[in-house]
Structure 1
Amino acid sequence: MMMRTGLRWLWLTGVVAAIDQISKILLIERLPPFRPVAVLPSLNFLLTYNTGVSFSFLQLPGGWQRWPLAIFALVIVAVLVGWLARMASDRRLLAAAVAIVLGGAVGNLIDRIVQGQVTDFIQVYWGTWSFAIFNLADAAITVGVALILLDNLLGGDGRSRQGA
């Protein structure tokens, strides 16, 4: 049954979540918090922690948001797994995309449950402008959503839509 649905892509979810967690563990061990380390022009490693959600929204004192946000993330994970379970196995691009988003969600969920916060460490900047600091789970979610949109643009079957 599992091989005839999008659930066959759960291995990719595991890979994404594992890479995310390994990267965070390695950088927590090696980087001083809140001090940028240049990697490339316009790219730093900058170890930070976010108790809120995207762009530090809901990052409030007291940590009350840990469990409500963890429960919300669990609901999202359940919805994504349900989507994969209902998806035909021939929807490879869509299934891989959802699995990638799911891996990112699981990576950040692990942080939130274990640490009460999400570890972020990638800072992209230009001059004095800096994008929000993020992690590989966030990047996976972004790439996965972009692939879901691409699948939609291709008509869900690898062909571009007529008149598009």
Structure 2
Amino acid sequence: MAKTMPKQSHSSRASGAGGSLAPWLGVAVIVILADQLTKITIAKLFAYGHGREITPFFNLVLVYNKGAAFSFLAAAGGWQRWAFTLLGVVAALVISYLLKRHAAQRMFCTALAFIMGGALGNVLDRVMYGHVIDFLDFHVGAWHWPAFNVADSAICIGAALLVIDELRRVRGTR
């Protein structure tokens, strides 16, 4: 007699429990590679603090950030290097768990993969150099947005995708 498989509910299929991590880790690796290649290129082409005007509102400039976003805790005395490194590693582990558990949710996992890639890109900088390399400098007149990098951009894109995904989920438009 043939065994019948229990019928899966829509919610258990949507969660993707036990899904493959590979595609999402692949996205994170692409983000890390893009981040590290751009940082290496800028570090080779520019001296610290020097830059080049690209447009009237955008420069490339090599700067270092020992802190977190917007140089938060940059002058804290060195402990922040390891605290932010640990935070990035823990975030990557939690994200890996969430990616495995919700692998079928494409936008959610894409967002998490971008965040993971960005976090680990900056973790690599902290471990290798003791600071994060930033080089994207947008400005209006004399007002400059704090310099940032590809990893930071990926984190912001991932956060925006998480918000969009949640709004779609709440509205039932998935």
**TM-score, normalisation: structure 2:** 0.84
- Letter of the 2:113 counterpart: A
The yes-or-no answer on 1:129 pairing with 2:129 is no
Note the C-alpha offset of 1:81. 1.1
2:17, 2:102 within 8 Å by CA — same for their partners in 1?
no
Instruction: Name 2:107's counterpart in structure 1.
Output: 93
1:6, 1:95 within 8 Å by CA — same for their partners in 2?
no
Larger Cα-atom Rg: 2
Q: For structure 1, list consecutive stretches of 5 or more residues without a partner in the other structure.
A: none
**Distance in 2 separating the partners of 1:158 and 1:102:** 27
Note the C-alpha offset of 1:41. 2.0
Q: CA deviation digits over 1:112-152, x for unaligned, max 9?
A: 11111000000000001110110000001001110111111
Q: Give matches, 1:61-76, under 5 Å.
A: 62-76=77-91
- Letter of the 1:12 counterpart: V
The yes-or-no answer on 1:33 pairing with 2:43 is no
Note the C-alpha offset of 1:72. 1.4
**Distance in 1 separating the partners of 2:111 and 2:83:** 26
The yes-or-no answer on 1:20 pairing with 2:35 is yes
Note the C-alpha offset of 1:11. 0.3
Q: For structure 2, list consecutive stretches of 5 or more residues without a partner in the other structure.
A: 1-15
**Distance in 1 separating the partners of 2:17 and 2:28:** 15
Identity of aligned residues (%): 35
Q: Give matches, 1:44-83, under 5 Å.
A: 44-60=59-75, 62-83=77-98
2:18, 2:101 within 8 Å by CA — same for their partners in 1?
no
Q: CA deviation digits over 1:28-76, x for unaligned, max 9?
A: 0001211231112200011000111000011116423211221111111
**Distance in 2 separating the partners of 1:158 and 1:11:** 29
Note the C-alpha offset of 1:107. 0.4
RMSD of aligned alpha carbons: 2.1
**Distance of aligned partners of 1:102 and 1:112 in 2 relative to their CA distance in 1, 3 Å threshold:** same
Q: Structure 1 stretches (4+) deviating beyond 6 angstroms?
A: none
3-state SS of the aligned residue for 1:155? helix
